Chain A
Amino acid sequence: MGLAFLTPLFLAGLFAVAIPVVVHLIRRHRGTPVAFPSLMFLRRLPVRDVRRRQIRDWPLLLIRASAVALLALAFARPVLQFGEEAVAGDEDAFREVVVVLDRSWSMTRGDRWARAVSVADSVVTGLQSPDRASLVLFDRSGIVAVEPTLEMGRIHSVLDTTRAGWSGARFGAGLQAASTVLAASDRSRREVVFISDFQRSGWEQGPRDRLPPGVRFTPIDVGDEERRVLVVADVALEHDFPDGRHLVTPTVRILHRGSDVPTRGELVLEVDGAVVESRQIEISAESTSVEMQPFMLAGAEPTLAAVRLTPQEGERPEAFRFVLSPREVLAVLLMESGEAASFLRRALRPGGTPPIRLETRLGTQGLSAQDLEGTDLVILHDVPLPAGPAATALRDHVVSGGGLLVVAGPGSAPGGWASEWDGLLPGRPGETVTRDPARGGSLTGFLRDHPVFMSFEGSEGGSLGQPRFFRYRALSGGLLSGSGSEGEDEPTSILARFDDGSPALTERATGGGRTLLWTSSFDTEWTDLPLQPTFVPLVREIVRYAGARRESTPFVTVGQPLDPGYLLEAAGLFPSSTAGTGGGEDRSGILTGPGGRRIELRPSGGPVELREPGFYDIEGDEGGGGQGWSIAANPDLGELDPARVDPEELTLAVQGDGSASAEGRATPGETSLAEGERRQGAWRFLLLAVLVLLLGEALLANRKKPLAKQVGSA
């Protein structure tokens, strides 16, 4: 157990202990003279220097000196400490300082990082023992790099080895990490020193982005005047499939800020390490888009591509990386009758994500398994359901993992029903339902968490409720029955309904694939859906889902959390068809970064965060299974935003509860208050002891001098 003092300056009052001693020695005369009949005898006696008197009444002196000393101790507010707290003496009176350091990409600009580290070093060096300090590093996420410690050398060493990264900044991440440290602290004086360049893009206050009450927030701005920014901000990819080839045309968007003068630079496109194109370009004062020459993708392996911009002024070149792969392309076979599917064809044009390679075929006659080879999705648009080998081929296609979308429009002629369709179609299309020609029907009852409708979440279905449906087919038989053979098939699900309750979109999984049935049409004969803005996204979401393709991007941003399941699935190590069934739980992979850093990927693991730009390879952990995959990571371009947030504004926001005083004097939290009050209660007992001593002093002093009572004149 140790003893500390909240107001140690009052300990100077201990010098007052000398007062009773001096008074005892000096024996100063009482203020009121003692009357005496005559001094004629006393005047005859030699006068002695009373200052040289010895202490005659030790008990009285000790009582008075003790009372003075205890009074000084009581005003010094002693605090009792237990356990480790006592090691540092009056530790509670000292500070708990959290140094929060921004290590986002923007901190690499100029000498910001060097100055930030210097400031952090100065802050830590300026702490008084036993102030306790900790270090929090943050970009998009915050980590406690050094837990609260009394050894400042640990923080210095971490600062020496830490470098700013490539990720964007999120101030809330740093504040939350600091709050975690402060919440575990029992010290009453708590401070956060926030060192950053205060980019506006890093501050979007969330409900948890507040410091605990009573914490002093000290922002230190190491930002400077924004210099010129000249980087490749984005690459848009246009896919085209002429003559069976897969051509990709990148369009490079160059961001040029901080200068009103156009400049020039060299733009280089590299594909798999080889320079495909290099050109000198004019860069305007704002932004410039440059369409590069198309290049062809071949094979099943991913293609690693990068665009490098080398400014003319000799600044360092910036690269923008992306990954392409033929497997990204969704191969769709559209079987139609006539031109009825013109709206559908336009919706499935190659641009967009995922890239779709569309083939069309009139009718289903002569359809064989060879025709379906390499096809991800077959769309039967308003054509009669085939029978015989065509039906068998379609069934085999679905069972083997392919997708089938049946659009049961007016030309679907659902009269016949081959046995091959048993257990394949999610319902038997029947008679046509005709709704009021003036009002029609509408879509309601979506499965909002289904992948098809997930992207429409937030619109409350308003956009999907706009289209009017005047006719559609009623479904009967096999619906929701799960009547598939041998118990392999999943039951049928209704993904969307019309307002009269009739199914609009149903799904049935068979083997490794799935079949979707749209009970109306994708032309304007039965509905005005193709004329609505929701048509294209709805169709593409249906196609993407039916074709068993998840959205993939050619690049991700550094610091962006990634689902390991997605990465494994993209690498073919964790097929989406096995998701949730437990079949892929044991499969894991290794993510290898540009610096050789390896990260284990498990489907059930937490999000993966890529810390540096470059290409990352994904492989099976034991070398077996999967085809391998690569992803590209680029710096967070939000860090190029020159807008800055006022540090004072940030201070007010994080201390918005107003509990912190202007002087930074910390107020403990609710729990700390009660605990602190309990530990600081010793002053009451000291004052009580002083009172008892003074009473004893009065009794003792009066008992010793009964005859010395002053006598007044009569």
Chain B
Amino acid sequence: MTPVKGRAAPRAGTGANFLDPVVLQRIGNLELVARGVVEGFLQGLHRSPFLGQSLDFAEHRPYTVGDDPRRVDWRVYARTGRYYVKEFEAETNTDFTLLLDVSRSMAFGGSGITKFDYARFLAASLVFFARRQGDRVGIVTLDDRVRDFVPCSARHLERVLITIDRARPDGSGHLASALEALAERQARAGIVALVSDLYLDPEELSGPLKVLGQAGNDVLVFHVLDPAERELPYDDALTMEDLETGETLPLQPGDLRSEYRELVRAHITAVAQALAKGRVDHLLADTSSPLDEVLFGYLSARQNRKRRGRWASPS
């Protein structure tokens, strides 16, 4: 799946600059980054309706005239003799679990920002956006195993952002085993978003994700790629070093460029096709693209999935 077309035109005003990942990189506060991205995104987008009706208890407050008598907590009245009503913090109907790839290949960046930074901003924005919609948010950082796990909760936004902020790309890129373990532990259906550069076999990737999807999760994959690793823009003879394995390879990039591009395109296509078979959405996130483009693609994918779900469900 390619990035959403037709939204490439930059928007005027400060909001457009604020969505530039290179500019966002200069902001140290990840929450502020995510808030800015989402608010800026929403300013250019009609507010979408809340999805779901679930309520989470937040606190008790004294009863006042006009309150619905049905919200009086009679247990508290029995213990204290006073009337209190229950306050519910927000309305939620799903868990939003973010899977962040922290393998070493994510450390690459050829155009001012590394893939990992871009992935962090994207992850934070998605979490913030989900939380703004009332979803419960959690995060899993993983490489060849699960590194950090924050379960979904309406109160875990800060923990999730801290986890994202502290994550470092220093693991292996074989995500399959970690995803399989995660699929086994996933107890409650929700939204699962994987942010990764996907340097692994498409079939190995699609297996665990298919399991997650069969468990009732809506699975999305954000395929983060740098333009340099798609285009191979080098001219001079050089030695390349694999960030994950440390392997080196002397070569003449200029002579291999076209064949390399073809291989990369074939890989992206193969990943997308493999994920599609498991009803997993594949979103290509180019690190040179503004984050709102990716967010818009995310929303589009969500709406498409709902339409597919209605059509697929028996009437």
Contact = CB atoms under 8 A, between A and B. Distances in A.
A74 to B, nearest CB: 29
B121 to A, nearest CB: 14
From A41, A47, A711, residue with most partner B Cβ within 10 Å: A41
Given A30-B238, A39-B249, 5 more contacts: A34-B239, A34-B240, A36-B242, A41-B260, A56-B235
A61 to B, nearest CB: 13
9 contacts: A27-B252, A35-B241, A37-B115, A37-B226, A38-B105, A42-B260, A43-B249, A48-B252, A711-B228
A53 interface: yes
A37 B250 contact: no
A42 B236 CA distance: 16
Nearest to B168: A714
Contacts of A39: 240, 242, 245, 247, 249
Interface in A154-169: none
Contacts of B173: 38
A346 interface: no
Given A27-B236, A50-B237, A707-B233, A35 B254 contact: no
Interface stretch (B35-43, B106-114, B184-192): B106-114
Q: Label chain B's interface by main secondary structure.
A: mixed
Interface of A: 26-30, 33-45, 47-48, 50, 53, 56, 704-705, 707-709, 711, 713-714
A691 B24 CA distance: 41
A28 B254 CA distance: 14
Given A27-B236, A50-B250, A37 B105 contact: yes
Contacts of B197: 37
Contacts of B233: 707-708
Given A35-B243, A37-B199, A714 B169 contact: yes
A169 B264 CA distance: 99
A28 to B, nearest CB: 7
A48 B116 contact: no
Interface string B97-141: 000000011111111001111000000000000000000000000
B25 to A, nearest CB: 11
B237 A27 contact: yes
Contacts of B228: 707, 711
Contacts of B260: 41-42, 45
B243 A708 contact: no
B230 to A, nearest CB: 10
B270 to A, nearest CB: 12
B251 A47 contact: yes
Given A29-B239, A30-B239, A708-B233, A42 B251 contact: yes
Nearest to B249: A39
A714 B249 contact: no
Interface string B239-282: 11111110111111011100110011001000000000000000
B77 interface: no
A29 to B, nearest CB: 4
B229 interface: yes
Nearest to A30: B238
Contact of B235 (A29, A38, A704): A704
Contacts of B243: 35-38, 713
B88 interface: no
B98 to A, nearest CB: 20
A711 B264 contact: no
Contacts of A50: 237, 250-252
Nearest to A32: B239
Contacts of A53: 237, 252
Contacts of B254: 56
A23 to B, nearest CB: 10
Contact of A709 (B104, B110, B117, B240): B110
A26 B237 CA distance: 9
Contacts of B116: 714
Contacts of B108: 35-37, 711
Contact of B114 (A36, A45, A704, A714): A714
Contacts of A29: 237-239, 250
Interface in B22-60: none
A697 to B, nearest CB: 14
A413 B252 CA distance: 134
**7 shortest interchain CB distances as A-B pairs:** A27-B237, A707-B233, A33-B241, A37-B105, A29-B239, A714-B107, A37-B108
B119 to A, nearest CB: 11
B241 A42 contact: no
A708 B199 contact: no
Nearest to B255: A48
Contacts of A38: 105, 173, 199, 229, 242-244
A28 B241 CA distance: 16
Nearest to B170: A713
Given A39-B247, A53-B252, A34 B241 contact: yes
Contacts of A705: 234-236
Contacts of A44: 263
Contacts of A41: 260, 263-264, 267
Contact of A711 (B110, B199, B250): B110
A125 to B, nearest CB: 57
